[in-house]
Structure 1
Amino acid sequence: MVGHATETAEEFAETLRAAIRAKGLSLDRIRHRLQMRGAPISITALSYWQSGRRRPERPDSLLALGHLEDVLDLPEGALSQLLGPPRPRGRGRVRPPTPQVQGAGRDNVRLAQLLAGVDTSSDTGLSRVSQQDRVEIGADGGTRRLRSRHTLRADRSGVDRWVLVYDTDAPGNPLPSVGMLRSCRLGRLIADPTSGILVAELLFPKPLRQGETLVLEYELLQDEAPYPALETSHFRRFRLPVREYSLEVRFDSRCLPARCERFSTPDLEQGTEIEVDEWGYAFATSRDFGPGIFGIRWEWVLS
C-alpha cells in the first residue's frame, strides 16, 4: 500500500507539471485565476504540488482541485482521482479520509442554483460588525451543533434578512435542522442532501433603517443518523469583510484531538498551532478579515 501511495503521488505531480507546461501559465497566473474563482492557493503550495514535495490534503486544497482542473483545461477528476489516501502525520496520528471532491466545480454551480431560490438582495446592504461561531464535536468526532451569533449593521434602509449557507462537505448525509434563537424567523429553506448544501432565509423582525444594528443568533443541529464521520476542520468562507470573527470548537472529553491549528487565506497550507484547554475548547479570532477563509483544523489519534 505504501508503494501504491508513492506511485499515485508521483503520477499526480507529473500530471500537474505536464498540464501547467501545456497551458503555458505561470504559477502566479494560476494562483490569480484560482483566487478569482474563490479558491485561493499559494504559489508555494502549487510549487510543492508539482514537484511532488507535498500533495493536496487539506479540505480547502481538495476543494480547489476542481477549479485547478478547469483552469488547466483538464477533464473533471484528472487530478483528484490520482490522490491516494491521506498520509499519516507522526506516530499513531491519522487524518480520516477526505470525502471525494470531484464535483467541486458542479457544487459551485449547484450552490448558485440554490441561491437563486431565495432573496439575496439584502446581503450587500449589511456590514458584518462581528460574527461568532461555536462548534460542538461529539464523542464520535462528528459535528453535533453549530451556534452562530452575528452583529449586523444596515448600510441602507430596507434590508430585512440574512441568507444562511451551510455546506456539510458530506453529500448524501442528512442535513442539520435550523433553529432560530434571536431576532429572526425562518423564511424559505432549500435543503439539497445530494450536494450536501443547505440554504435558508433568516427574516428579521422588521426591515432595518440605515445605520441600525441587529444581533442575530441561530443554530444548526445534527440530530438525525447517520451522523457525520470524524471531522477534521471547521471553517467559514467570507465573501465580504467582517470587523471581528471568532471561532470556538468544543471537543467531547472522550474524543480529544492530538493537535489543533488555525488557518486562513491567503496561505491555507500554513497554520498556527493553538491549544485545546482543559475543558476541551480550541479558540481562534481575527480582526478586519475577509474576503477569504478562516478556520480551525485538527488531527486525531485513533486507537
Structure 2
Amino acid sequence: MFEEESAGVDEKVDFAAALSTAILARGVTLAWLRERLAESGNRVSAATLSYWRSGARRPEGPQSMGAIEQIESLLDLDARALLSLIGPTQRVGPIGPPQYPMEEGRLEQAVAETFIALDAPVIDPARDVATTAVTEVGSDGFVISRTTRTLLQSTSGTITNVPYLDLTPGVRTPAPTFSFVSGGHISRRHSHPSGEVHGAMFELERPLGPAQTTMIEWKLEYPPGYPSTSETGHGVARRCRHIVLWTRFHPDALPDWIEEVEETPTDTRVTPLLLDGATTIHQVRHGWGPGMLVLRWGFGERA
C-alpha cells in the first residue's frame, strides 16, 4: 500500500486526465493494471488506482513513482509521459509539534513578546528543513560573525515572511547586526527590553505555498560594545532533517577546551570535544529537533 496526498487542482486534473485517457486507449481495466503491477512486485490497491484516475489523490513517494513508471510501460506510453504531470510533492514529512527548549519561563515570555512585536505568530508555519551555520572566531577567541543558510519549508498555508531570533539567556546585550545575504530582505527588527532576545523579520522573495521550499541566507555580526561571546549554536522549534554547525577558529587563538551542549525540551547533554590539531570543528544532526545545538569553548582550565 502507498500513502498519497491530495493534489492541487491543475496538477491532479492533468495527471488524472492523462491516466484515464491512456487506460481507455489501451482498452484495459484497473483490475488488469493492478494484477500486472502485482506480478512485478508493485502492490497497488484497486482503490489507489481509482483515486489516481479520478484525481482524488496523486502518487507520492518513490514506490508510487515506480508504479507509475511501470504503468507507462503497460499502457504503451512514452517514458515520463505520466510522471512529468505529477508535479512537486505536497508532503512536508513528519514535523511534530513545535516546541521551544527553554526552561526559564521568563525567557520564553520574552521570546513570545518579541514574536508579537515583529508581527509574527508565536509559532510560525515554517520549518528549517536543512541548515548550515558557519561561525567565524577572531584572534581574541570570540565570535566575529555567524552566517546561516537554510532550506525553509511552509508547513501550512502560504507564508511571505519568517522571523529569526538571537538569544543570550541571562546576558543583557545590544542588538547584533542582522543582514540578509540572499533570498529576501529584512522588514522589521526588534530587541526585547530584557536585552536577551533580539529578532528580525525576513521577507521572502516570493510567497511560499504549502510544502514548498526556498533557500535563504543571513548573517549575524556583533557591534563594538557587544559582550565577548565564546559560544555559537542554532535552535529549531520543529524536527529538522539536517543541521550542520561549522565553527572556524583563528589559528593564533585555538581554545584549550570545547564542549557541545544539546538541549531539548526534555534533556540537556554536555559532551567534551577536541580539535585534534585542526582549526575548525563541525557538528552534525540528522532528523533532530526541536532543540538547541550549541558549541562552547574557553582558555585555561575549565571552570
How do 1:198-217 residues align onto structure 2 when only pairs under 5 Å count?
A: 198-217=198-217
Residue 249 of structure 2 corresponds to which residue in structure 1?
251
Residue 8 of structure 2 corresponds to which residue in structure 1?
none
| Cα separation, 1, equivalents of 2:276 and 2:193 | 32
SS at 1:275 equivalent:
coil
Question: Is the contact made by 1:134 and 1:249 (CA closer than 8 Å) also made in structure 2?
Answer: yes
Residue 295 of structure 1 corresponds to which residue in structure 2?
294
SS at 1:129 equivalent:
strand
SS at 1:131 equivalent:
strand
Residue 43 of structure 2 corresponds to which residue in structure 1?
none
Residue 225 of structure 1 corresponds to which residue in structure 2?
224
| Cα separation, 2, equivalents of 1:215 and 1:123 | 20
Whichever residue aligns with residue 234 of structure 2, its letter is R
Tell me which structure has the larger Cα radius of gyration. 2
Out of 125-134 and 267-276, give the one that drifted further: 267-276
| Cα separation, 2, equivalents of 1:110 and 1:265 | 19
Q: 1:242 aligns with which of 231, 240, 243?
A: 240
Is the counterpart of residue 38 in structure 1 residue 101 in structure 2?
yes
Residue 132 of structure 1 and its aligned partner are, at CA, apart by 1.2
Question: Is the contact made by 1:120 and 1:163 (CA closer than 8 Å) also made in structure 2?
Answer: yes
Question: Is the contact made by 1:242 and 1:290 (CA closer than 8 Å) also made in structure 2?
Answer: yes
Question: Is the contact made by 2:107 and 2:169 (CA closer than 8 Å) also made in structure 1?
Answer: no
Whichever residue aligns with residue 137 of structure 1, its letter is V
| Cα separation, 2, equivalents of 1:276 and 1:225 | 32
| Unaligned stretches of 5+ residues in structure 1 | 1-35, 40-63, 68-104
| Cα separation, 2, equivalents of 1:148 and 1:193 | 26
| Cα separation, 1, equivalents of 2:179 and 2:157 | 27
Whichever residue aligns with residue 202 of structure 2, its letter is L
Residue 250 of structure 1 and its aligned partner are, at CA, apart by 1.2
**Identical pairs, percent:** 18
Question: Is the contact made by 1:164 and 1:200 (CA closer than 8 Å) also made in structure 2?
Answer: yes
Change (3 A) 1:171 1:127: closer
| Cα separation, 2, equivalents of 1:215 and 1:166 | 20
How do 1:95-110 residues align onto structure 2 when only pairs under 5 Å count?
A: 105-110=105-110
Question: Is the contact made by 1:174 and 1:225 (CA closer than 8 Å) also made in structure 2?
Answer: no
Residue 204 of structure 1 and its aligned partner are, at CA, apart by 0.3
Change (3 A) 1:276 1:179: farther
| Cα separation, 2, equivalents of 1:270 and 1:169 | 17
Number of equivalences: 201
Residue 281 of structure 1 corresponds to which residue in structure 2?
280
TM-score (norm 2): 0.59
Residue 156 of structure 2 corresponds to which residue in structure 1?
156
| Cα separation, 2, equivalents of 1:216 and 1:123 | 19
Residue 165 of structure 1 corresponds to which residue in structure 2?
165
TM-score (norm 1): 0.59
Change (3 A) 1:211 1:141: same
Change (3 A) 1:227 1:156: closer
Residue 180 of structure 1 corresponds to which residue in structure 2?
180
Change (3 A) 1:147 1:230: closer
Residue 38 of structure 2 corresponds to which residue in structure 1?
none
Out of 146-155 and 263-272, give the one that drifted further: 263-272
Question: Is the contact made by 1:274 and 1:283 (CA closer than 8 Å) also made in structure 2?
Answer: no
Residue 129 of structure 1 and its aligned partner are, at CA, apart by 1.5
Question: Is the contact made by 2:168 and 2:197 (CA closer than 8 Å) also made in structure 1?
Answer: yes
Change (3 A) 1:291 1:145: same
| Cα separation, 2, equivalents of 1:263 and 1:198 | 21
| Cα separation, 2, equivalents of 1:169 and 1:199 | 14
Change (3 A) 1:108 1:255: same
Change (3 A) 1:37 1:198: closer
Residue 77 of structure 2 corresponds to which residue in structure 1?
none
| Cα separation, 1, equivalents of 2:100 and 2:154 | 28
SS at 2:195 equivalent:
coil
| Cα separation, 2, equivalents of 1:214 and 1:138 | 31
Residue 227 of structure 1 and its aligned partner are, at CA, apart by 3.6
